[in-house]
């Protein structure tokens, strides 16, 4: 049973996750929160900056999986405001 669970977790880690909503992206990792944030941030359009992030940790069979969502907004141009 344990090899099946580990195989399922590995398969989920390899699947890209779609953005949750406009201006955000969600990604998962079995390695670290930082890896999940980096993967989600890679979906961010050029010229934007991260405004916040949120991560959840799921532990099963002594193995952790991280799911993180990042939100972004356009970076203001010089002189705007």
For range 55-78, the mean pLDDT? 90
Distance CA 55, CA 35 (A): 11
Decide which of 76 and 25 is more confident.
Answer: 25
What's the pLDDT at 73? Answer: 93
Whether residue 15 has pLDDT greater than 60: no
Q: What is the pTM of this model?
A: 0.65
29 touches 53 (CB < 8 A): no
Work out the pLDDT band at 75, boundaries 50, 70, 90.
confident
């Amino acid at each position: 049973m344990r090899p099946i669970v580990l195989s399922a977790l590995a398969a989920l880690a390899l699947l890209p996750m779609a953005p949750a909503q406009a201006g955000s992206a969600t990604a998962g990792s079995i390695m670290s929160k930082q890896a999940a944030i980096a993967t989600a941030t890679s979906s961010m359009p050029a010229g934007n900056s991260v405004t916040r992030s949120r991560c959840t940790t799921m532990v099963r069979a002594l193995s952790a999986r991280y799911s993180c969502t990042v939100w972004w907004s356009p970076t203001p141009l010089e002189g705007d405001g």
